[in-house]
Structure 1
Amino acid sequence: MKPPAWRRWAAIALRCVHLGGLVLLGATLLGAPLQPRAGALLTLASGLALFVAELADTRIRLGELAGLVVLLKLVAVVWMALHPEAAPLLFWLVLAISGLMSHAPRPLRHWRPGRTADPRGR
């Protein structure tokens, strides 16, 4: 069953907030006179909310590669907030992994570790 339209718009709004948190975090890491924890917390809170929304709409599953990657990214954001010295490297890793996963072929994103099917969809 397809989720109601308002849930899609809520997810879009959350994604905008999430991108804002990423920009804030990135600006801080590039030297803007801001608190790095504010960007990390906004990114974390909106990321968790997006993750819950996608789980509820079954657009993502914990046992699939995409779900596992989201959990790893959230852990990395927590690590950034707790250990600012690691934040620059983690920020760029999370950004690269996010870009790769969001544009990866569907069979790879939804691949389940331990499943015998080829993750490239063959």
Structure 2
Amino acid sequence: MTIAEKLLAEWSERTGIAVEVWTRMAGEPGADGMREALGAVLAAVEEGTPPPAVCVALTTGVSGARLTVSHDDVGESWPVERLKAVKEAFRRAGGRVSVNGVAGGGVTVSGVLPRSVLKG
């Protein structure tokens, strides 16, 4: 189990929000940058009206490590402070992120972190 998968399992158990995870990574996500970015996204997801489930994809490619989190929450949209926290976490890790609302409810967060966040 990778660091990210362990973090997701612990978060799911604590919040009661089901997590579906896809991983296809060349290397183990490093503890700092990936954990901070993923933690900021998960904090935003559980704030307000948490969705019953989220889908998380962790992949690697030429540009680095990609993290995509989506859910179908039809409740409140993310507060501006949470969006800023997510963007700042990715920036500190040397990456970039986009946060998009989906028509009818839900959010998709897609970010890329540099290959330096990977070990091995």
Return the TM-score normalized by structure 2.
0.33
Structure 1 or 2: larger helix share?
Answer: 1
Return the TM-score normalized by structure 1.
0.32
Structure 1 or 2: larger strand share?
Answer: 2
Q: Which structure would you say has the larger Rg?
A: 1
